[in-house]
Amino acid sequence: MTASNASTAPAIAVYPPNAFDRKHVERALKERVRYRYVSPALRVVEGGFRIESPCCSRRVDADGGMVDIALLLRSRPGEWELYRKDHPAAQWLLHGTYKWLSDLLEELKKDPQQKIWQ
């Protein structure tokens, strides 16, 4: 894994995920460590998935509305990128690059630095 804190706008990936990838992400969302009492939504976007969830901490949305959590993009064969949302700046930040979707999902589920699930 390569991690970066630099502000990076996600490039549009040209390698769309498949139905198996979607099920893999859906299953991982059920196994996450943080904010298990909310129901995140998985949206298909060009080249990957966007995860959004009700804001239960009220730090991002005081009304508890839906907020962006993560962007998962398959940037090329054998490479997945995980982005987290910088809500004050309203931009996506590259959190890490992974060879396998399963490695990316482990980071997403555990979020040890508490930067993804805010």
Q: pLDDT in tens for each of the 118 residues of the chain?
A: 545 444 455 655 567 788 999 999 999 999 988 777 788 999 999 899 999 988 766 565 556 678 899 999 998 888 999 999 998 899 999 999 999 999 999 999 999 998 998 7
Query: Where are the chain's structural domains?
Result: 19-110
Would you state the CATH architecture of domain 19-110? Answer: Beta Barrel (2.40)
The residues, ordered by sequence, that sit 6+ positions from 59 with a Cβ below 8 Å of its Cβ are 118
With CA atoms as reference, report the closest residue to 86 among 48, 45, 115: 115
What is the model's pTM? 0.82
Q: How far apart are CA 100 and CA 58, in angstroms?
A: 33
